Structure 1
Amino acid sequence: MKTFRLIKRLATGMPQPARAFSWLFPSLFLLVPLIYTLTGQRWLGLAELGMAGVFLTLFGFYVFRDLKGTASSWSRMYKESRGLSPEQFTFADVPSIKAMGFVYMLMGLLWLGAAVFFAL
């Protein structure tokens, strides 16, 4: 139950535009098979995969650089959802979440690279 509460808080409480990026990349990624199945156009699916990669990279950049307090608010929301005090150590502290942002940037670049590679 605590995890669902955290997901709800992250979906509504993260600062903009990081919240928009966090919603855009999974929706575009999940639309790729649907669009490809409906239209049969490979380039359209690859374009969506590339856009999902761009949005994932941007989201990771906002988290990694803690722009507009994205990583700080994520850490704060995690601790609040678990009932922990702000001073208490968890693995969801800001440096760990910044590392997750870096991994998101790498994943986004991988998706973008895959879209470009398969388009050629």
Structure 2
Amino acid sequence: LVLDPALPLGEQLAMAAWMKGLADPEGEARKACASLGLADLAGRRPEAVSGGEAQRAALARALLGQPALLLVDEPTSQLDDGHAAQVIERLADLQDGRRIVVVATHDARLAAGLAARVPAGALHRKVWT
């Protein structure tokens, strides 16, 4: 997901929550920020945060409304160990809630924390003839 450079992170999450039809967009945005350690950054624009913080904000936005399916690519690539652990915990929580989470990663910490994995090179299927 791409963050809008003109809006603070909290406003972007609130707008996304409103667009998803959530009853309390501002409250949902605050919860999403807090769940990934972004509460203190909600008033900042994307250019005023680090790459890892922006990455977590984009993930927080994707998690709004508890999607049934989530596709994520390298969600911990720019994160330190502590923040990577937060992301891993959130993604594992989604799996526990019977949601489908598809993750592409080179991060062994993330792969180990998820319920099911397809080992590298193990999935080969010809779709088109």
State if a TM-score over 0.5 links the two structures: no
Q: TM-score range by the shorter chain?
A: 0.3 to 0.5
Instruction: Give the structure with higher Rg (CA).
Output: 1
Structure number with greater CO (CA < 8 Å, separation at least 6) is 1
TM-score normalised by L of structure 2: 0.32
Which has a greater percent of strand? Answer: 2
Q: Which has the higher helix share?
A: 1
Name the TM-score, length of structure 1 as normaliser.
0.34
